[in-house]
Amino acid sequence: MTACRACLMGPARQAHSIPALQPPPARPAAWWQSSSLSRATGICLAGLVVTAQLPPPAVASVLHASEVLQQRAQALEELAARYQARSAAPQLRYQEESVPQRLARLQQLTAEGSAAAAAGNYAAALAAYDSVVKQFPDFATTEYARLSRALLLYQLGRTSDAILQLEDLEVALRGYSEVHAALAAVLYTERPALLDQAETQWEIAMEFNPKFSDPSWVAANKHWPPRLMTALDRFLNLK
């Protein structure tokens, strides 16, 4: 005849019999059941296995730890149920537009930049042209937005950035007289050691459009910012 578990434990341990572990209610499969909850259940079962060899205080400690782990797993389950999985990051709006829509918005940003510059709001104008450059890098007209951005950078005191961008444009738009004239004026004013390079850029500009030697024409037709007009005046008058 097989002895019962209570008999094997002896009279001293019968008073500390282990309560039956109630199975958790059925729940749909989810990520938390395969991680926190399953580990907690495994620890509980392992605790029940070793309780037969532990003194009563240790048995109580194991059962308490198992109960705490189950409570934490349940809390994680409830917390996870409040949140839905993140969806894929949405595409930027301008990447979903058709070509006519993008052209219309390009024209709108360009008009905003021109209006802001005419009103003397050079920071807003720079932001508008910067948006054109970033959002429409594959459009040919973006090169002219880069030029406007470079001139505005110079107006706002970012001289090194302006020179770097003008030098890049001198390669991309070689033969475009406005780039050469602007670069000549800025180099003459800001980089005296590059006087020869400034003179070379000016000679190229004059070959394509000698009207840049007339400041009034530049102001009326190219609308250069005040600081660049001052640099042009210094170059023309050898100041």
Report pLDDT digits (tens) over 100-111: 888 899 899 999
Q: How many CB atoms lie within 10 A of CB 78?
A: 10
CA 43 to CA 70: how far, in whole Å?
9
Average pLDDT over residues 45-67: 59
List CB contacts of 111: < 8 A, sequence separation 6 or more.
none
Please state, rounded to an integer, the average pLDDT across all residues of the chain: 78
Q: 108 or 4: which carries more pLDDT confidence?
A: 108
Q: Is the pLDDT of residue 87 over 50?
A: no
Residue 82 pLDDT? 56
Residue 223 pLDDT? 95
Angstrom CA distances, 70 to 37, 39, 122, 197, stand at 7, 9, 62, 77
CA 59 to CA 16: how far, in whole Å?
8
Whose CA is closest to 178, among 234, 222, 114?
A: 222
CATH homologous superfamily of 96-236 equals Tetratricopeptide repeat domain (1.25.40.10)
Q: How many CB atoms lie within 10 A of CB 90?
A: 8
Per-range mean pLDDT, top range of 70-84, 92-106, 207-221: 207-221
Residue ranges covered by each domain of the chain: 34-82, 96-236
Q: 215 or 25: which carries more pLDDT confidence?
A: 215
**C-alpha dihedral over 178, 183, 189, 191, to 10 degrees?**
180
Asked whether 113 and 129 are in contact (CB, 8 A), the reply is: yes
CA 59 to CA 48: how far, in whole Å?
8
What is the per-residue pLDDT across 147-199, written as a single tens digit (0 to 9) for each? 999 999 999 999 999 999 999 999 989 999 999 999 999 999 999 999 999 99
